[in-house]
Structure 1
Amino acid sequence: MNVLRQSLRQGSPLSSLAGSSHLSQPKRTSEVWICSADSPTTPTMASAALALLWLKPHSSSDHSRAMLRQAVLLLLHCFASLTLGQYDLCKSLVSTDDGAVWEQYACQPKAQSMKDYMRVKVDPPGITCGNPPERFCTLENPYLCSDECDAANPDLAHPPQLMQDRERTGRITYWQTVTWSRYPEPLLANISLAWNKSLELTDDIAITFEYGRPTIMVLDKSTDHGRTWQPYQFYADDCLDSFNMAPKRVPDLSPANITRVICTEQFSRWVGSKNDKNVKFEVRERFAVFAGPRLLNMDSLYTRMESMKGLRDFFTFTNLRLRLLRPALGGTYVQRDNLLKYFYAISNIEVPAR
């Protein structure tokens, strides 16, 4: 936070503050210290103003009362700046026909990955593999079942927190469910993500699956901390069969129906478990409907966010939930003779938001 100085005429009520060692008083002008973004001296300035208030508690002159009012305002401004300083000045350099100019815009919190702050809950109880230990196969090598999940062994465990770890060693870690050994009973799992505050999406939600993406899945959102839920997007290898919905992609949408909840087949069809691991909720493509394919006209998006009913609300949430309804099948039907190759495994969840 930088401290800006503004000259005042001699005799201004705030010139009396200059008696402090922190606030020097020149002969002809005095300086008002104004808190603004990124100032390490803000607590010092606030303390100085507080000290002046303490030293002159009994003064009743109009001049002193005005000085005290100014000091109180300075205190409030400084302490507010500690919290709101990052929003003090919002501008960007843009090119125009007349050259580069500074463009002012509404201040917003910085967009960032929210996975470090989310609380993860997995249901139903016992859906995570490893208790008891069990072996599992892969869709590429369905009869080579040498892998094991064991919750008691850190090297073989796959707990839920591995969906949001940083994987700094380069080794991929992931949460994994039990296998579909109880087929034809459905293999269902819910993953609830909570932040205890309202957030606004700024980029695509991306869920990375190991060993194949689900063939049926629903992404839900809540705006009231999980008390009620509404579908955000449906995913299936056959939308008509799974949800009685015609398949759609975001580029099929228009500005008039951009907030429509769709079913997409783009992320559910079998392409090999190593070729494409991600399932996305496409935020950038929705932004592009207003800002253009390269997102160069963000002013148009921001204007629509403020003027179009329900648009900002569409990207706002407090909680998200993944409902995993059927695992990857390897491009075929369920093969009853080897059910140990069917399960869910998630290595990462990215939620860029502000």
Structure 2
Amino acid sequence: MYFSSVLWLQALWASLTWAMQHYPSEYGHYDVCKSLVRSDEGIVWEYMACQPESTDMTKYLKVRLDPPDSTCGESPEKFCAMGNPYMCNNECDASTPELAHPTDLMFDFEGRNPSTFWQSITWKNYPRPLQVNITLSWNKTIELTDNIAITFESGRPEKMILEKSLDYGRTWQPYQFYAADCLDAFRMEPKSVKDLSHHTVLDIICTEEYSTGYAAHAKTISFEIKDRFAIFAGPRLHNMASLYSQLDTTKNLRDFFTVTDLRIRLLRPATGATFVDEQNLARYFYAISDIKIHGRCKCNLHANTCVFDNNKLSCECEHNTTGPDCGRCRKNYQGRPWSPGSYLTIPKGTANICTPSISSIGIAPKSPLPSVSSGLTANHKRECHCNIYGSAHDRCKDTGWCECKEGATGPKCDDCLRGYFWHRGCQPNVCDNELQRCQNGGICHRNMRCECAAPYTGILCEKLKCEKESGGCGTRNGQGAVSRSQGLALTALLGALLLTAF
């Protein structure tokens, strides 16, 4: 009886092991980081790459407005109805819950219904610009997995920028520009994501697709993550293996979809007309009923679970790794340099586990110097010659390693991780010709700045210069003709003069 039970359990375990190996979950998400398999050495652990499942990331963010008093209702004010901009008897009042429009209504469950929304103050200070920055922070690196969608209840802005940060809001990079007239607003030719290719997938574009005025059926502005995925995986994302292969082998492609913060810069509200109606400025404001952001914690393919505890996201690291992003080996597991997991070989991936240090398994290194396990003297520990710019301290930790500052790596913290360059320590790249490429023929100089071709300017040479002596740059040929909005205004004025004349 005993032996038959053992045989039955062994058979059951073999079946489960086979099932785990042959029925993995969808490409890119691994439910487990290891499984027991039979080998010549008996039953052993087989490690594989893993990552958390994609989820709604708005549940974990913090929102901040700049200027902080941009939400309507601190002083009760009237505003015009969404469908009828001349019916201006609606009221915003922060002291009355039914009339308040705070920022959390951009993310509440009822926000899927446009009856609840955040709303800004009106454009009562026209002609001063009505500009609001909405900063979304996770205090954690996350990887975007689906389109960002922002639903407006006020008409979509005529001018807006979506920006990203990879260093918790210290520096910002443009993700995409939005305008009713890209050339007039940002000195950029309008493009669509569908215009991008394998070689230009990281380009920063300005699109005119989402910046119309009042339109009941057109409320959403998107940042098209899936369309960029489709460049590698096909129109219906049917070839995800190709995408994951590119993410593994194309330097910095994954970093393009990685953020710690997002910032929505609202620069000009929808006017719905050629001229701003100065007699009805309560028509103009921003209102957002919903923001959708799907992604996952970045765990470097070393964790399949990300927990939210004490208002903070963190990876539950496997493979003998540790840190918020599983970005380093655990103590006594530094037998080889840390490396992120790999999507290859698909579908299980390669774990790249951290191995035990020589000292932790009791084998002394072939060197006349004492090993860490044999007990470094205090002099040998506080004397590792840690780089003063790259290290948090000038002496070693108890492990015999230097404690590196953000972006630094190496035994003495004198080298930089990808995405950083050395300048009295490791500084985030402004440009590197791959992750943040200089646009319009610009050349990246020492990762610190883009040297732009003559007609262009901006951090990444993304804008055309306006030179007075050339008559401005309001047209695509730079010859000083009027912009689209100016052209409409002149046409209307000419029509009025002709009617007067006749």
Is TM-score (shorter-chain normalized) higher than 0.5?
yes
1:72-151 mapped onto 2 (5 Å cutoff): 86-88=31-33, 106-138=49-81, 140-151=83-94
Gaps of 5+ in 1: 1-24, 36-84, 91-103
TM-score, normalised to structure 1, is: 0.70
Aligned counterpart in structure 2 of residue 158 of structure 1, from 101, 109, 117:
101
The answer to whether the Cα contact below 8 Å between 2:155 and 2:212 also exists between their aligned partners in 1 is no
Q: Which amino acid aligns with 1:343?
A: F
Give the AA of the match of 2:76: P
Identify the match of residue 317 of structure 1 among 236, 243, 259.
Answer: 259
Equivalent-residue separation in structure 1 for 2:49 and 2:281 (angstroms): 54
* Pair 1:288–1:89, CA change in 2 (3 A): farther
Q: Alpha-carbon deviation of 1:170?
A: 5.0
1:198 paired to 2:141: yes
Which of 215, 218, 225 is residue 273 of structure 1 equivalent to?
215
Residue 86 (structure 1) shift: 4.0
Residue 231 of structure 2: aligned partner: 289
What are the Cα deviations for residues 73-124 of structure 1, in whole angstroms up to 9, with x where unaligned?
A: xxxxxxxxxxxx943369xxxxxxxxxxxxx984321001101111111110
Question: Which whole-Å CA distance do the structure 2 matches of 1:168 and 1:129 have between them?
Answer: 18
Q: CA deviation at 1:338?
A: 1.0
Q: Secondary structure at the match of 1:234?
A: strand
1:88 alignment partner AA: C
1:308 corresponds to: 250
Q: For the residues of structure 2 that align with 1:169 and 1:273, how far apart are their CA atoms?
A: 18
Match of 1:257 in 2: 200
**Residue correspondence of structure 1 range 324-335 to structure 2 within 5 A:** 324-335=266-277
Q: Distance in 1 between matches of 2:138 and 2:72?
A: 26
Counterpart contact for 1:211–1:274, Cα < 8 Å:
no
Q: Offset of 1:26 from its aligned partner?
A: 6.6
Please tell me the residue identity of whatever aligns with 2:178: Y
Once residues 202 and 169 of structure 1 are traced to their aligned partners in structure 2, the CA distance between those partners, rounded to angstroms, is: 20
Counterpart CA distance in 2 for 1:169 and 1:317 is 25
Q: Per-residue displacement from partner, 1:53-88 (whole Å, max 9, x unpaired)? A: xxxxxxxxxxxxxxxxxxxxxxxxxxxxxxxx9433
- Identity rate, percent: 53
Letter paired with 1:324 = L
Structure 2 vs 1, CA of residues 318 and 184 (structure 1 numbering), >3 Å: closer, same or farther? same
- Shift of the 173–89 alpha-carbon distance from structure 1 to 2, 3 Å rule, reads farther
The 1:27/1:301 distance shift into structure 2, 3 A limit, reads closer
Q: Is the 8 A contact 2:135 2:264 kept in 1?
A: yes
Closer/same/farther in 2, CA of residues 105 and 331 from structure 1, 3 Å limit: farther
Runs (5+) with no aligned partner, structure 2: 14-29, 36-46, 297-502
Provide closer, same or farther for how the CA distance between residues 125 and 170 of structure 1 changes in structure 2, counting only shifts above 3 A. closer
State the match for 1:234 in structure 2.
177
1:333 offset after TM fit, Å? 2.2
Once residues 272 and 4 of structure 2 are traced to their aligned partners in structure 1, the CA distance between those partners, rounded to angstroms, is 83
Quick one: which of 119, 122, 125 aligns to 1:176?
Answer: 119
What's the counterpart of residue 339 of structure 1? Answer: 281
Higher helix share: 1
Q: Which residue of 1 aligns with 2:454?
A: none
Query: Secondary structure of the residue that 2:78 maps to in structure 1?
Result: strand
Give the whole-Å Cα distance in 1 for the aligned partners of 2:257 and 2:218: 25
1:352 aligns with 2:294: yes
Distance 2:48 2:242 in 1: 12
Name the aligned partner's letter for residue 228 of structure 2: R
What count of residue pairs does the alignment treat as equivalent? 266
Within 2, Cα distance between the matches of 1:142 and 1:212?
11
Which amino acid is the alignment partner of residue 230 of structure 1?
Q
- Residue 29 of structure 1: how far off its partner (Å): 7.0
Contact in 2 for aligned 1:139/1:329 (Cα 8 Å): no
Indicate if the aligned counterparts of 2:112 and 2:290 stay in contact, CA closer than 8 A.
no
Q: Distance in 1 between matches of 2:149 and 2:70?
A: 22
Highest relative contact order (Cα 8 Å, sep 6+), 1 or 2?
1
Change (3 A) 1:313 1:347: same
SS at match of 2:185: helix
> Please, what TM-score do these two structures have when normalized by structure 2?
0.50
Amino acid at match of 1:281: F
